[in-house]
Amino acid sequence: MSTASKPRRDRGPGTLYAIIGLVMALLLIGTGGYFWLSGRTPQGLAVGGPFALTDGDGKPVTDKDFRGKYMLIYFGYTFCPDVCPTTLNTVADALDKVGPKADKVRPLFITVDPKRDKPAIVKQFAAAFGTRVIGLTGSAEQIAAVAKAYRVYYAEHRTGTGPDDYTMDHSSVLYLMGPDGRFVAPIRADLAPDAMAAALGRLVL
Ligand code: NI
C-alpha cells in the first residue's frame, strides 16, 4: 500500500475533509491498515492483550504462557487457499534466516474459523510449516475476544448452501509482541522471507 502523505489543506471545505478523513481512519483501523499509513506506531497503542485459547493438543493456553518470548501472531484459517499458507511459509523461512534470534520468537497461528479448525486440525496445519509455528484455536467467543483485542477483522463468506461451503474473509497482518506481552510493531504479511527476516532482526532484541 502506498504511504504517500496527503498535502495539508489550509482552506476549503475543511469539515467535509475532516469527516471523510475520520471515516477512512476508522475503516483502516478496523482492518489494521492504519499502521501502514502511520508507519511505526507509538508505544502503548492498545493492540493486543490477554487471551485464553486452546492449543493443538486441546490444552488451555494464554498469552502469559509466552512471557519472555516474542510472539509473532497471525490470524487466519486452515482452509485458506492461498494467503495463510503463503504467509506461514514466509514466517518459517524468515525465522530460518534470522539466526539465533529466532529462538526468542514464538510464531502463533490463531484461527478465525473455530467452527472447522478444531485443535487437531490447527496442530496438523501448523506442523506443515516446520516445528516453530504453534496453532491455536478456541471457542467462538474466545476467538472473537482475541480478534477484537488485536483489531482483526474476519467474516464468514458463504460459497454454497452446505455447512462447509464458506471461506473466511480476514485481515492479514503479523503482530510482533514483546517478551512482556506488549505490542512492538506490525509486520507486513506479504513481505518476502528476506525482508521479513530483516524486519525481525531489527525488531527482536
Ligand atoms: Ni487466509
Number of Cβ atoms within 10 Å of the Cβ of 195: 14
Q: How confident is the model at residue 38 (pLDDT cuts 50, 70, 90)?
A: very low
Distance 189 CA to ligand 1 centre (A): 11
In 3D space, the residue among 147, 145, 173 whose CA is nearest the CA of residue 83 turns out to be 173
Residue 179 C-alpha to ligand 1 middle, in angstroms? 26
Q: What is the pTM of this model?
A: 0.79
Residue 53 CA to residue 187 CA, distance in Å, equals 23
Q: Give yes or no for residue 15 having a pLDDT over 90.
A: no
CA 143 – ligand 1 centroid, Å? 15
Q: How confident is the model at residue 39 (pLDDT cuts 50, 70, 90)?
A: very low
CA of 5 to the centre of ligand 1 (A): 29
Could you read off the pLDDT of 62-117 as tens digits, one per residue?
999 999 999 999 999 999 999 999 999 999 999 999 999 999 999 999 999 999 99
Query: In this structure, how many other beta carbons lie within 10 angstroms of the beta carbon of residue 62?
Result: 11
How far away, in angstroms, is 11 Cα from ligand 1 center?
43
Would you state the CATH architecture of domain 14-43+53-203? 3-Layer(aba) Sandwich (3.40)
Look-up of cell digits 480476514 = 170
- The rounded Å distance from CA 80 to ligand 1 centre is 4
Find the distance separating the first CA and the last CA of the chain, reported in whole Å: 27
C-alpha cell at 68: 519472555
Q: 138-176: buried (b, 16+ CB within 10 Å) or exposed (e) per residue?
A: beeebbebbbeebbbbbeeeeeeeeeeebebebbbbbbb
pLDDT tens column, 148-159: 999 999 999 999
**18 CA → ligand 1 middle, Å:** 33
Domain ranges, ordered by start, for the chain = 14-43+53-203
